[in-house]
Structure 1
């Protein structure tokens, strides 16, 4: 569905026409551009937009199917950029990603949103409060969406860092190892980091191309004066990727530490069990010997044999207990 349609002239908003071709014609006549925002459009709805703005069929197919990696593609009549905004849910400690597809032409911007994580409404309101920036044309919209998306990455990375610190504290509790559910929490956290990486990692190359075309040549429909701004966004996403890499390495180290603690705890338990078993074996052996039905056992006819054996077993038990205790087995 079409969420918003507006024409922008010299940074000022004017409501768009219901007929998209009329809106585009008015925008071109006034030296402005038209910005159309769509949310989960149907194939029929998007075909209408694609025909009016001459969007490439391959890019249209990607926009309808979604589930794309961040990428930048250039076509004869438009530029196609895919971003993956992320949302952090503090109650469930989960990261989910949406998608924003941006079609950029000489006098139009078409944004297609999938999921709930796209900051497009806030970006539009921000640009409308900054007419000087909006007057730069479609490039300003492209920059503002990319900048808002990457800035939100930084917020999510900070939230994940806080969660990791709590998880680290739980693993390294004084009693050691955390609860029996700690391993599952660590694996779940690692999956959230992986989901985050899928959104941030592939974005480096498209932003680098916008900031510095290099051997690829000039990016069409993007004002060269905007390169420093895209370079700033590229620096931010690089910092995010470094944070994600650090989180991933640290969570792997925490998992290894947790498994090592579990192994040490199991070994300690086995040592204690072995110690108690050894203490139980001494009286079992003695009583087993005197449970055999031999005719010639001198101790059987001794008056103090029973209390003597009880005292012997007690002394041996005390000696074994002190020995195991001194060595830390009990």
Structure 2
């Protein structure tokens, strides 16, 4: 294999806003850090693969990339507008793939996008929004030249696997909060702040599920369809990514169900507490009604009331009130109302 002299050792990285990394590889080893304008010439060399990473590039950089790899106008337009749903599209001999990324920033999930262009001798990633740098992916691939030597489809697999793996820390953090919330909900009714937090968690999980769900179809097509640049030997790896995505889906559904049960349990606890309070109030009102009724009767200004002339009438009425109130208290206490 003929390699140009300047490719013996990687040159200094190209400093350009929006360009994170751009390298040329031969047999899984980086032989040069290149400029975007050089990508086409490096790609055309036998056995060379160009891997370019972009972060929120402007249209000038995207146009330059398009010219180097003859990318479709619609794909470039989509890559410039970071509001796409996960999908895979074929333009000639190249693939355009969109995947959603997620990060937990503060108390909420922030979403981003990664657009991937894959073709013979090149792979370009375009990151928008909340997204972890793919520098660890590049470092891991470069540390294993045998794996990286498989070509563009292996790089595609490594990036998609990295995206899916990064869903797990988000779900683990949310799961810890959900478990803590679940323990508290049976102890007492949820406060307004807790209910608002529960709603936000369910909303974020729904958005995460909508971001993850279409990725199953993307990986399924990479696994089963006869797409250009995807060799049959790589399909088992994409099958593994598909399994991971489905596992993430199941975790999201499980967490949403737990939050729904927690909210329902909180409502039941609140209703039970309200019922208990109502029973107590009704019991005490019934007890208080006895002296109130008797006092009301004897507080009327009638002249002829036989009990008013009885020597022990006062003591008898007080005793009657105490006996009736004590009887009611015992009855309500036995019934569990007090």
TM-score in terms of structure 2 length: 0.89
* Residue among 132, 139, 142 paired with 2:146: 132
* Residue among 44, 49, 61 paired with 1:28: 44
Secondary structure at the aligned position of 1:103 is classed as: strand
CA apart distance, 1:178: 4.8
CA apart distance, 1:212: 1.2
Secondary structure at the aligned position of 2:156 is classed as: helix
8 Å Cα contact 1:4-1:38 kept in structure 2: yes
CA distance in 2, matches of 1:116, 1:288: 73
Query: What is the match of residue 121 of structure 2?
Result: 107
8 Å Cα contact 1:119-1:145 kept in structure 2: no
8 Å Cα contact 1:150-1:237 kept in structure 2: yes
Say whether residues 1:240 and 2:279 are aligned partners: no
8 Å Cα contact 1:16-1:23 kept in structure 2: no
Q: For structure 1, which runs of at least 5 residues remain unmatched after alignment? A: none
Q: Deviations over 1:263-321 (max 9, x none)?
A: 12111111111111111211111111112111211122223322322222222221111
Query: What is the match of residue 75 of structure 1?
Result: 91
5 Å-filtered alignment, 1:1-330, equals: 1-18=18-35, 20-89=36-105, 92=107, 94-173=108-187, 176-179=188-191, 181-213=193-225, 218-330=226-338
CA apart distance, 1:205: 0.6
8 Å Cα contact 1:78-1:105 kept in structure 2: yes
Q: Which moved more, 1:241-250 or 1:152-161?
A: 152-161
CA apart distance, 1:180: 5.1
CA apart distance, 1:76: 1.3
8 Å Cα contact 2:37-2:64 kept in structure 1: no
Q: Deviations over 1:124-158 (max 9, x none)?
A: 11111111111112111100001111122234333
Question: Cα RMSD (Å) of the superposition?
Answer: 1.9
TM-score in terms of structure 1 length: 0.91
Q: For structure 2, which runs of at least 5 residues remain unmatched after alignment? A: 1-17
CA apart distance, 1:96: 2.3
Secondary structure at the aligned position of 1:85 is classed as: strand
